[in-house]
Amino acid sequence: MDLIADHISHRFGALDVLDDVFFTVRAGEVVAIVGPSGCGKSTLLQILGGLLRPGKGRAELCGAAPAGSLNPLTFVFQDFALLPWNTVEENVAFPLLHTSLSAGERRAVIDDALRRTGLSDFGAAYPKQLSGGMRQRVGIARALAVRPAILLMDEPLSALDSQTRELLMEDFVRLLADGSMGAAYVTHNLEEAVRLADRVVVLSRRPGRIREIVSIPMTRAERGAAGAREQLATLQGELWSLIRKEAIDAEREVQHA
Amino acid sequence: MPSARSSMLDRATPETKEQSSETTRPVEFRGAGFAPVNSRYAGWIALAIVLAVWQLAGSAGWVNSLFLPAPSAIAVAIYKLATSGALWQHLSWSIMRIASGWIIGTIAGVIVGFAIGLSTLARGVGITFVSALFPIPKIALLPLLILWLGIGEEPKIATIALGVFFSTAISVYSGVDAVPRNLIRMAQSFNVPFHAIVRRVIWPGALPSILAGFRITSSVALLLVVSAEMIGAQYGIGAFVLQAGNLMQTDQLLAGVVILSLFGLAVGKLINLLEARLLHWR
């Protein structure tokens, strides 16, 4: 199933946020969306996920959702969005409560999602008892439980420390390895973009327009090798050169706002 | 040149204090204070001291027992009230009025509060009315309610219900407003139906504010029941306190006040238990 951003524009009041953004997330593909602060990355993701109506254009799906998918477009949130009054297991079960799954099927799905995210021993814990990284794992387990076709990830690692970020990036690489899920991955971190994405959509500063779409010429498995680090660093540098001036202008704009 | 497998980390040995040739001095501690801690016994000890001084003042004749009876006299008055059955008679009437008024006011307040928190139309209309009527002292409406509802229990219960209603409605819609929007968006992103979002996200999210509201409304109910009973009732703690005052039976009067205080403390403890049970996740 493909997800298409079809010439999306949006404004909040008098503020133009997005201007004619057009690209496609193909089935099984990971597309990173990067750009300066305030360029409308998260707004774009909300529009793609149906949480916000765009001013112009629209988000479209093309092709059938994979068999068994309960929520083809599934968010992973920056702040985890866990229900603090529910245990880990209840949080993972939350999106399944109103589906047609039987109790046995639901149990199996929850166990599988917890196992894939390394949370099998933490089902009875409450979010407040977990570290930031473990909380985000719960958010990922909850997303996996509904068997998404495309994950919509809104800076999923930005609230975490750098070591936890490294560990979770490895988890993402593993979860995305079989190509059964695609992802639109919003980030301000270019290292994450070059490590995880097949293509990187570079947005200009506000109003966000597509400045460039860059392909990463390596498989994700190849990127994990020690020899690939230099090439990834070069790619990261090239992306930064595309964004740097706009990031400086955007920062000054924010300071003067 | 090191091989790809060899480490490039230069592992230096940790420095020790002895390696430094200069004399050292400890860093001054500047982080004291601003961290009050609850003491388990301090409150009880302070209470005991106050009671002892009060008792001493009464026994020694430093204060006139008509104006301020000693704690022992108040305890005797409570004992006599309890053994005569009068305590239960007055207390049961007050509890019946508080419970009826509180339940009616709470149910109405929760419904209206949720409506204001969830519906644009209800918010537009509701907040105007609630804001305009909330500041009115509800006891001032008792004579009007007696005119409407007659002499009996109804106007007293209605006064309590009105007092409870406004505080509950405000705490409920404030609680609904305080539920993090990201949790609601998360539920929507999983296509969770509206009623399930209300039940599983908004209700538990608003519960801390709702329970804080209960703490306030229980005090409001106690205040109003005493006031209403002083205006027009034969039985009830408020009526008892007023009668005792009229007869200059200050030991009985203060016995009534102590009973009211104990009743308020008991309700507070009950709400503490509810919070511990329902908000254990905080």
For residue A5, the Cα-to-chain-centroid distance in whole angstroms is 15
Q: Above 50 in pLDDT, residue B2? A: no
Band (pLDDT 50/70/90 cuts) for residue A251 is: confident
CA distance A47 to A27: 19
Closest among A245, A152, A246, A203 to A18, alpha carbons compared: A203
Residues of B with CB under 8 A from a CB of A: 4, 180, 182-183, 185-193, 196, 200-201, 204-205, 281-282
pLDDT tens-place string over residues B234-270 = 899 999 999 999 999 999 999 999 999 999 999 999 9
Residue A51 φ then ψ, to 5°:
-95, -10
Task: Count contacts between A and B (CB, < 8 Å).
Answer: 50
Identify whether the C-beta of residue B167 lies closer than 8 Å to the C-beta of residue B138: no
Cβ distance of A51 and B282 shorter than 8 Å: no
Identify whether the C-beta of residue B34 lies closer than 8 Å to the C-beta of residue B50: no
Residues of A in contact with B5 (CB under 8 A): none
Residues of A in contact with B193 (CB under 8 A): 98
Residues of A in contact with B281 (CB under 8 A): 84-86, 126, 128
Q: Give residue B245's pLDDT.
A: 92
Closest chain A residue to the Cα of B188, Cα to Cα: A51
- With the CA atoms of A141, A146, A147 and A151 taken in that order, what torsion angle do they form, in degrees rounded to the nearest 10? -70
Of A71, A84, A128, the CB nearest to B190: A71
Neighbours of A245 (CB within 10 A): 11
Q: Above 60 in pLDDT, residue A257? A: no
Of B188, B204, B205, the CB nearest to A51: B188
Least confident stretch, A20-29, A155-164, B6-15, B229-238: B6-15
Q: Above 80 in pLDDT, residue A38? A: yes
Residues of A in contact with B180 (CB under 8 A): 81
Q: Give residue A85's pLDDT.
A: 96
Of A75, A86, A128, the CB nearest to B189: A75
Closest chain A residue to the Cα of B196, Cα to Cα: A98
Cβ distance of B185 and A97 shorter than 8 Å: no
Cβ distance of B186 and A77 shorter than 8 Å: yes
Going from the C-alpha of B260 to that of each of A93, B71, B226, the distances in angstroms are: 47, 16, 9
pLDDT tens-place string over residues B26-67 = 999 998 888 888 888 999 999 999 999 999 999 998 989 889
Q: Give residue A166's pLDDT.
A: 85
Give the residue-averaged pLDDT of B131-135: 89
Residue B130 φ then ψ, to 5°:
-60, -45
Of B180, B185, B190, the CB nearest to A95: B190
Residues of B in contact with A126 (CB under 8 A): 281
pTM above 0.90, yes or no: no
Band (pLDDT 50/70/90 cuts) for residue B229 is: very high
pLDDT tens-place string over residues A142-201 = 999 999 999 999 999 988 888 888 888 888 888 888 888 999 999 999 999 999 999 999
Residues of A in contact with B196 (CB under 8 A): 97-98
Per the omega criterion (within 30 degrees of 0), is the bond before B36 cis?
no
Of B193, B200, B281, the CB nearest to A126: B281
Q: Above 80 in pLDDT, residue B5? A: no
Structural domains in chain B, CATH included, are 67-278 (1.10.3720.10)
Q: Give residue B17's pLDDT.
A: 66
Q: Which one-letter amino acid corresponds to residue B143?
A: P
Of A71, A126, A128, the CB nearest to B191: A71
Cβ distance of A128 and B282 shorter than 8 Å: yes
Q: Above 70 in pLDDT, residue A30? A: yes
CA distance B170 to B202: 15
Cβ distance of B185 and A51 shorter than 8 Å: yes
Query: How confident is the prediction for chain A on average, in pLDDT?
Result: 90
Q: Which one-letter amino acid corresponds to residue B75?
A: A
Cβ distance of B185 and A81 shorter than 8 Å: yes
pLDDT tens-place string over residues B167-181 = 999 999 999 999 999
Q: Give residue B1's pLDDT.
A: 44
